Amino acid sequence: METEPVVTPAQTDPSHDTAWETALAQLDEVAELMGLAPGVHAILRSPKRSLSVSVPFRMDDGSTRVYQGYRVHHNVTRGPAKGGIRYHPEVGLDEVKALAMWMTWKCAIAGIPFGGAKGGVAVDPKELTRSELERMTRRYASEILPFIGPEKDIPAPDMNTNEEIMSWIMDTYSMNSGFSVPGVVTGKPVSIGGSKGRAGATSRGVMYMIFSTLKALGVGIDEVSVAIQGYGKVGGYAAQLLHDAGCRVVAVSDAEGGLYRDRGLDPEAINRHSREAGTVAGYGGAEPITNADLLEIDCDVLVPAAIEGVVTVKNADKVKARVVCEAANGPITFEGDKILHDRGVFVVPDILANSGGVTVSYFEWVQDIQAYFWDEEEVNDRLRLIMERAFDEVYDLAMAKGLSMRQAAHWIGVGRVAEAHLTRGLFP
C-alpha cells in the first residue's frame, strides 16, 4: 500500500543567489565597457523562458517521493538551447538561470551555433537506488518534454549525471516520438549515437587552455605545479592528462578532503585508492589537506573544478597561484575576481576554460544529425583547434583593450549574441 508522499523541496542557500548575481554583474560590467544598446542589454539580463516542475516518482518500497526540477533557456537567438542537467540537493532556479546565461556566452565564444540552457533536480542521487534514479530521471524528462528536442534544446550530463542518465532521457523522448531521436541529448553512450572523445572533452579542453596560457606567459609545461580542487569527472581526468603531459600535480581534493605532495602525485595510484575508498581522502602517499587549504597552496596553476563560489573576498588575497583556470562554472565570485585581477593573477574564465564539453557535444549533435561519425583523433583535433582559436581571440582582445581575460571573453560572447539579436530584429 502506498504511503504518504515525501516532498523534498530545493534547499535554500545564499550561494545560488550569488551565482545569479555574479552572472548579472559580469554582464552589466561588460555591457557598460562595450556600450551595449540598452534594449539588447535588457533582453540579455532575463532568461527567455524558465520552467519549474514537480518530479513525483515511485520508490522501491512503493512510496511516492516528490522533488523539484528546473529547465531554463537563457537565449536561443544563435541556435537551439544547449546545457547540462545536474542532480544536487541544492539545485535552485537562480543557480540554473546563472548557469544557462554562462552557457550562452560559452557557446558564442567557441563559435558554436547554440544558445544557453541548464536544468536540474534538487536531489541527492546517492540516496536513490539505480531503479529509483531511472524512474525519477524518466519522470523529469517527461515533465520537460515540451522544452527539449534536437532543434529546440539538447541536454547533456553535468554534476552527478552521466551517459546512462542521458540514455534514459533519450529513450523517454524517443518513446514519446515513436522513433529513435539520438540528437535530443549529448554525452550519451557511443552505442546509441554518442561521440568518441566526449567523456573527457571538458578535461581535455581545460588542458588545452592551460597550455595556451603557459605559451602566452612564456612558461614551459614541465616547469609548472598544478593544484586541482574537485577530483571528479572533470578534475580527475584533467589531473591524469596534465600529469601525462609533464606537469607536476601537487594537490587534489574532493568533497571528503584532499592531498598534497610537493614532489607531485601519481593520478593512477590516487584513482585506484579513490575507486576502493570512494574518495581521495585517506591516500597514504601524501599529506592530508582541506578543500580550503588547497585553494591557498603555493603552486603555479590552480584549477577549481568543483562548485560555484569557492574563491571569494574572504580568500582571494590568499591564492598563491600565478594562473587560475576555471574548470567549474562560477568558482570565483565577482568581487573575488576583482581581487585576483588587481593582484596580477591570470584567470582563464569558465566560459572559455571549460567549453570543451559543449564543443564536443556540438560535434556529437552534428554526427547524430548526419548519421556519420568521426574517430576520436579527429574529435580531439577539432576540439583543440576551436579552443586554441577561442583563447587567442580572447587573449588578443584583452591585450589590445587592457581588459581582464574574463572581461574580454564576455565582450566577445555578449557581442556575438547581441549582433545576432540586432541582425534578426525584434518580433513582432
Q: Which residues pair with 399 in a beta bridge?
A: none
Reduce the DSSP state of residue 124 to 3 states and report it. coil
Q: How far apart are CA 34 and CA 382, in angstroms?
A: 31
Sequence-ordered alpha helix ranges (H) in 248-319: 267-277, 291-295
Amino acid present at 38:
P
CA separation, residue 330 to residues 94, 169, 354 (Å): 13, 27, 11
Q: How far apart are CA 269 and CA 249, in angstroms?
A: 13
Q: How far apart are CA 28 and CA 41, in angstroms?
A: 8
User: Is residue 288 a contact partner of residue 257, using CB atoms and an 8 Å limit?
Assistant: yes
Q: Which three cell numbers stand for residue 93?
A: 532556479
Quickly list DSSP for 164-193.
Answer: HHHHHHHHHHHHHHTS--GGG-SS--GGGT
Sequence-ordered alpha helix ranges (H) in 218-285: 233-245, 267-277
What Rg, from alpha-carbon coordinates, does the chain have? 21
Query: DSSP state, 346?
Result: E
User: Is residue 140 a contact partner of residue 121, using CB atoms and an 8 Å limit?
Assistant: yes
Question: Going by C-beta distance under 8 Å and a sequence separation of 6 or more, which residues neighbour residue 174?
Answer: 180, 181, 184
Which one of the listed residues 118, 188, 196, 233 is annotated catalytic? 118
In the numeric block, the cell 592528462 is attached to 241
Q: How far apart are CA 233 and CA 159, in angstroms?
A: 9
Question: Going by C-beta distance under 8 Å and a sequence separation of 6 or more, which residues neighbour residue 424?
Answer: 77
In the residue annotation, 97 being an active-site residue is answered as: no
12 burial type by CB count under 10 A (0-12 exposed, 13-18 middle, 19+ buried): exposed
Residues with catalytic function = 118
